[in-house]
C-alpha cells in the first residue's frame, strides 16, 4: 500500500493537468490515506470533488463524495458525512454500480450508528447486506455483516450481534483481506467487552491489531491499542495499562483525533485512580473532560466526570466532588434517556422491517405456490396432451388397421370376383368356343351331310354371338367407366331388348328415378346383372309367356329387382349346366342379398324378386 501511495503521489506531482485522470488519482490517494492520514485524505478528497464538479465527471463525483463522507465521519461531523454519503448512494444508483452502492449503504450505516440513529442505521445496513449478497462478493458481505452486528450490539442484542459476526468470520477465507479479518475480530472484542469478558476481549483486540498492522500505520492502530490497554486495566494490571496509556496519549496528541486524546487521557486517569494517585488522576481526567466537552463526546464526558468526582472525594474536596458527581449524573441521565429513545425507535424500525420481511416472505411463498400451481397445470396439460397424442396414435393405428382390413377384404372380394368371372368365362364362353371348335372340325372333315351343314353353321354363328355377348358382359362388369347406376339400367334394358323380342315377348321395363343416381357397388352390379340374365333366360325357355315386366326400386336402402311374366306360373327347373334358381340365390347370398320366387297361381305367371344391399 505504501508503494501504491507513493506512486500516486509522484503522478500527481509530475502531471498537474486538470483532467478526469487527476480526479481518479486524487480519489485513489484519499482512499488509501483515509485511516493513516485522515486530514490529508480529506483535503485530497475535497480537491477531487471540486475538480469532478468542474469537469462534470460523474464517476469522480461518486468516489469523491464517498471519501469526503468517510473522512467527516471519522472526525464526528455526522450531518455533513450523511449528506456526502447520500450523494454517493444516489450517484452509484444512477451509474448502476452495485459495488459502490453497497459501500455507500455501509458508510451511511456507520454514520447513523455512531450518531445514535439506530433505526436509520438498521435500514441502511439491511439494504447494504441485501446488495452485497446479490453481488456474491465475500468481502463486501463481510463488512455489511459486521456493521449489522455493531447495530445489534448498540441495541443490547448480544446474541444477534454474535450471530452476524460469526457469519462474517466464516467469510474470512474467501475475502482474503487483512482489514476485513481485523474488522471481524474487533467486533468480537467489542461484544466480549460489553459482556464483561475482559480477557477474551483483549485477545480479540490483539488479533485485530495483528491484522490491521499489515495495512495501518501507528496512527491507524491507535483505536484498537486504546481498547487493548483498557482491557489490561480492567484485568487489574494497572501499571502496564498506565505505561500504555502514557504512550498512546503522546501519540494521540501528535497525530490522533480529539476523541483519541480524550480516551487516552481518561484511561490514564483511571489507572492513576486505581493505584491511589488521586492528584494525578484529577489532572488527567480534567484534561479528558475539557477535550471531550469541546468535541461533544458525551460518553467520555460522563466517565471523566465520574473519575473527577472520585478523585476530588479522595483529596477531601467534597464540594468539587459533588459538582462533578452531579455533572456525571446529568450526562448519564441524558445519555440513558436518549439511548432508550433511540433503542425504542430502532426496535420499532426492526419490528416494522420484520413485518415487511414477513409480508415479503408471504408474497414469495404465494409466488412459489402460484409457480408450483402453474407447473402443476403445465404437468396436467402435458399429461392431457400425452393422452390425446396417445389416443390420436391409437386412433390412427386403429384406423390403419381397419383400413388394412378393409383393403384386405376388398382385395379378397376382387380376387373372388376375378375368380368367379374367370369361372363364368371358362364355363360358358369356354364351352361355347369348344362347341364351335368341334363343329367346325366336323364340318371341315365332311362328317355332316350337305343338308345338315347349314343348320350346324347357324348353330356355330349363334354360339359365337353368345360367346361374344358373354365376353362383352364380363368386360362391362369390371370396367370402371360403367360404375354408375344409369349405366346399369342401360345395360339391363339393352339385354332385355336383345333377348325378349326375338323370342316373341313384349317388354315392360321401368325404374324409379332414384335408382339412376344410386351408388351401386361393383359386386352388387355384377351379381344383379348375372341374376337378371338368368331370369330372362328362364322366362324365354320355360314360361311360355307373352309379356315380361321388369321393375327396379330402392326400398330401405336396398336395390330391388322384380322380373314378372304372365306365363304358365311354373318355377321349374334351371336350364342344363346348373344355371337355375339355386345359382341365382348363391350369387345373391355372396353379396348379402336374397332371391324370392312369387307365384300368383296357375296360368297367372311367376315373379322373381331380388334384393341386394348397396353397402
CB 135 within 8 A of CB 101: no
Mean pLDDT, range 149-160, rounded to an integer? 88
| Coil, helix or strand at residue 315 | coil
Give the pLDDT of residue 32. Answer: 82
Measured CA angle at 390 (ends 388, 395), to 5 deg: 90
CATH topology of domain 482-613: Heat Shock Protein 90 (3.30.565)
Assess whether pLDDT exceeds 50 at residue 594: yes
In DSSP terms, which residues pair with 560 in a beta bridge?
Answer: 553, 611
* Residue ranges covered by each domain of the chain: 1-96, 113-216, 220-335, 398-478, 482-613
Grid coordinates representing 123 are 435500514
Assess whether pLDDT exceeds 90 at residue 288: yes
Assess whether pLDDT exceeds 50 at residue 123: yes
Q: pLDDT-derived band of residue 576, with 50, 70 and 90 as boundaries?
A: very low
> Distances in Å between the alpha carbon of 356 and those of 61, 77, 95, 350, 352?
34, 32, 28, 10, 6
Mean pLDDT of the chain: 83
Give the pLDDT of residue 583. Answer: 85
When mean pLDDT is compared across 111-115, 367-371, 496-500, the lowest value belongs to: 367-371
3-state SS of 167-189? Answer: HHHCCHHHHCCHHHHHHHHHHHH
Q: How many whole angstroms separate alpha carbon 336 and alpha carbon 150?
A: 18
CATH topology of domain 113-216: 1.25.40
Give the pLDDT of residue 460. Answer: 72
When mean pLDDT is compared across 12-21, 172-181, 210-219, the lowest value belongs to: 12-21
CATH topology of domain 220-335: 1.25.40
Q: Which of 257-271, 372-386, 393-407, 463-477 has the highest mean pLDDT?
A: 257-271
- Name the percent of the chain lying above pLDDT 90: 40
Between 368 and 183, whose confidence is greater? 183
- Name the percent of the chain lying above pLDDT 70: 80
CA 269 vs. chain centroid, Å, equals 68
**Which residue in 160, 87, 154, 92 sits closest to 120, CA to CA?**
154
Give residue-wise pLDDT tens across range 46-64: 999 999 999 999 999 999 9
Grid coordinates representing 392 are 390420436
CB 148 within 8 A of CB 125: yes
Q: pLDDT-derived band of residue 235, with 50, 70 and 90 as boundaries?
A: very high
**H-assigned helices in 425-547:** 430-445, 450-478, 485-499, 522-538
Q: How many whole angstroms separate alpha carbon 92 and alpha carbon 104?
A: 8
482-613: same fold as 1-96?
A: no
Assess whether pLDDT exceeds 50 at residue 572: no
CB 100 within 8 A of CB 66: yes
User: Sign (positive/negative) of CA torsion 476, 482, 488, 490?
Assistant: negative
Q: pLDDT-derived band of residue 229, with 50, 70 and 90 as boundaries?
A: very high
Assess whether pLDDT exceeds 60 at residue 615: yes
Mean pLDDT, range 543-559, rounded to an integer? 89
Burial string for 382-412 (b: 16+ CB within 10 Å, else e) reads: eeeeeeeeeeeeeeeeeeeeeeeeeeeeeee
Measured CA angle at 340 (ends 335, 346), to 5 deg: 120
Give residue-wise pLDDT tens across range 161-203: 999 999 999 999 999 999 999 999 999 999 999 999 999 999 9
Q: Please enumerate, as own/partner, the contacts of 349-352 that have beta carbons within 8 Å and a separation of 24 or more.
A: 349/118, 349/119, 349/120, 349/122, 349/123, 350/122, 350/155
Assess whether pLDDT exceeds 90 at residue 265: yes
Between 304 and 409, whose confidence is greater? 304
Between 560 and 515, whose confidence is greater? 560
1-96, which class in CATH? mainly alpha
Between 229 and 331, whose confidence is greater? 229
In DSSP terms, which residues pair with 547 in a beta bridge?
Answer: 506
When mean pLDDT is compared across 6-15, 122-131, 557-566, the lowest value belongs to: 6-15
Q: How many whole angstroms separate alpha carbon 566 and alpha carbon 552?
A: 18
Give the pLDDT of residue 578. Answer: 44
Grid cell 488479533 is found at 207
Q: Quickly count helices (H) and strands (E) in the chain.
A: 23, 5
Give the pLDDT of residue 256. Answer: 74
**Which residue in 75, 60, 79, 73 sits closest to 106, CA to CA?**
73
**Which residue in 533, 262, 550, 331 sits closest to 424, CA to CA?**
533
Give the pLDDT of residue 365. Answer: 73
Measured CA angle at 475 (ends 565, 529), to 5 deg: 20
Assess whether pLDDT exceeds 80 at residue 342: no
Q: pLDDT-derived band of residue 3, with 50, 70 and 90 as boundaries?
A: very low
Amino acid at each position: 500500500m505504501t508503494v501504491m501511495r507513493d506512486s500516486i503521489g509522484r503522478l500527481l506531482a509530475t502531471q498537474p493537468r486538470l483532467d478526469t485522470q487527476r480526479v481518479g488519482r486524487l480519489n485513489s490517494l484519499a482512499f488509501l490515506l483515509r485511516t493513516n492520514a485522515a486530514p490529508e485524505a480529506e483535503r485530497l478528497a475535497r480537491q477531487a470533488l471540486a475538480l469532478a464538479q468542474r469537469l462534470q465527471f460523474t464517476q469522480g463525483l461518486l468516489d469523491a463524495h464517498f471519501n469526503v463522507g468517510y473522512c467527516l465521519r471519522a472526525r464526528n461531523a455526522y450531518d455533513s458525512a450523511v449528506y456526502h454519503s447520500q450523494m454517493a448512494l444516489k450517484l452509484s444508483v444512477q451509474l448502476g454500480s452495485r459495488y459502490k452502492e453497497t459501500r455507500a449503504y455501509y458508510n451511511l450505516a456507520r454514520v447513523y450508528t455512531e450518531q445514535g440513529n439506530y433505526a436509520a442505521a438498521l435500514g441502511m445496513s439491511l439494504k447494504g447486506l441485501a446488495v452485497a449478497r446479490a453481488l456474491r462478493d465475500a468481502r463486501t458481505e463481510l463488512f455489511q455483516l459486521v456493521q449489522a452486528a455493531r447495530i445489534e450490539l448498540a441495541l443490547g442484542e448480544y446474541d444477534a450481534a454474535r450471530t452476524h459476526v460469526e457469519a462474517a468470520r466464516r467469510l474470512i477465507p474467501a475475502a482474503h483481506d487483512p482489514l476485513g479479518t481485523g474488522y471481524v475480530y474487533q467486533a468480537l472484542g467489542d461484544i466480549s467487552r460489553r459482556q464483561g469478558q475482559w480477557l477474551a476481549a483483549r485477545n480479540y483486540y490483539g488479533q485485530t491489531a495483528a491484522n490491521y498492522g499489515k495495512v495501518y500505520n501507528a496512527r491507524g492502530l491507535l483505536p484498537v491499542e486504546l481498547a487493548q490497554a483498557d482491557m489490561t486495566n480492567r484485568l487489574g494490571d494497572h501499571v502496564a495499562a498506565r505505561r500504555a496509556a502514557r504512550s498512546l496519549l503522546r501519540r494521540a496528541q501528535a497525530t490522533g483525533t480529539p476523541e483519541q486524546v480524550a480516551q487516552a487521557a481518561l484511561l490514564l486517569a483511571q489507572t492513576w485512580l486505581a493505584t491511589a494517585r488521586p492528584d494525578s488522576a484529577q489532572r488527567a481526567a480534567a484534561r479528558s473532560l475539557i477535550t471531550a466537552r469541546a468535541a461533544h463526546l458525551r460518553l467520555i464526558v460522563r466517565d471523566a466526570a465520574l473519575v473527577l468526582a472520585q478523585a476530588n472525594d479522595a483529596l477531601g474536596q467534597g464540594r468539587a466532588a459533588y459538582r462533578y458527581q452531579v455533572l456525571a449524573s446529568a450526562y448519564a441521565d441524558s445519555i440513558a434517556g436518549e439511548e432508550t429513545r433511540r433503542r425504542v425507535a430502532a426496535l420499532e424500525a426492526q419490528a416494522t422491517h420484520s413485518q415487511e420481511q414477513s409480508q415479503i416472505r408471504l408474497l414469495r411463498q404465494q409466488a412459489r405456490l402460484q409457480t408450483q400451481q402453474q407447473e402443476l397445470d403445465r404437468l396436467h396439460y402435458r399429461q392431457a396432451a400425452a393422452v390425446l397424442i396417445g389416443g390420436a396414435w391409437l386412433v390412427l393405428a386403429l384406423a390403419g388397421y381397419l383400413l388394412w382390413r378393409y383393403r384386405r377384404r376388398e382385395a379378397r372380394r376382387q380376387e373372388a370376383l376375378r375368380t368367379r368371372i374367370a369361372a363364368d368365362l371358362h364355363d360358358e364362353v369356354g364351352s361355347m368356343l369348344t362347341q364351335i371348335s368341334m363343329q367346325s372340325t366336323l364340318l371341315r372333315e365332311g362328317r355332316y351331310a350337305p343338308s345338315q351343314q347349314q343348320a350346324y353353321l347357324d348353330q356355330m354363328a349363334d354360339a359365337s354371338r353368345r360367346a361374344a355377348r358373354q365376353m362383352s358382359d364380363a368386360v362391362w362388369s369390371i370396367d370402371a367407366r360403367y360404375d354408375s347406376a344409369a349405366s346399369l339400367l342401360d345395360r339391363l334394358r339393352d339385354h332385355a331388348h336383345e333377348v325378349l323380342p326375338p323370342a316373341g315377348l313384349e317388354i315392360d321395363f321401368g325404374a324409379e328415378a332414384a335408382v339412376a343416381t344410386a351408388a351401386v357397388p361393383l359386386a352388387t352390379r355384377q351379381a344383379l346383372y348375372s341374376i337378371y340374365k338368368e331370369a330372362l333366360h328362364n322366362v324365354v325357355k320355360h314360361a311360355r309367356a307373352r309379356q315380361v315386366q321388369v321393375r327396379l326400386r330402392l326400398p330401405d336402402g336396398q336395390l330391388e329387382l322384380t322380373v314378372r311374366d304372365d306365363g304358365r306360373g311354373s318355377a321349374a327347373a334351371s336350364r342344363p349346366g346348373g344355371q337355375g334358381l339355386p345359382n341365382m340365390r348363391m350369387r345373391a347370398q355372396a353379396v348379402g342379398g336374397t332371391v324370392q320366387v312369387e307365384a300368383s297361381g296357375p296360368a297367372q305367371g311367376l315373379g322373381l324378386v331380388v334384393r341386394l344391399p348397396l353397402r
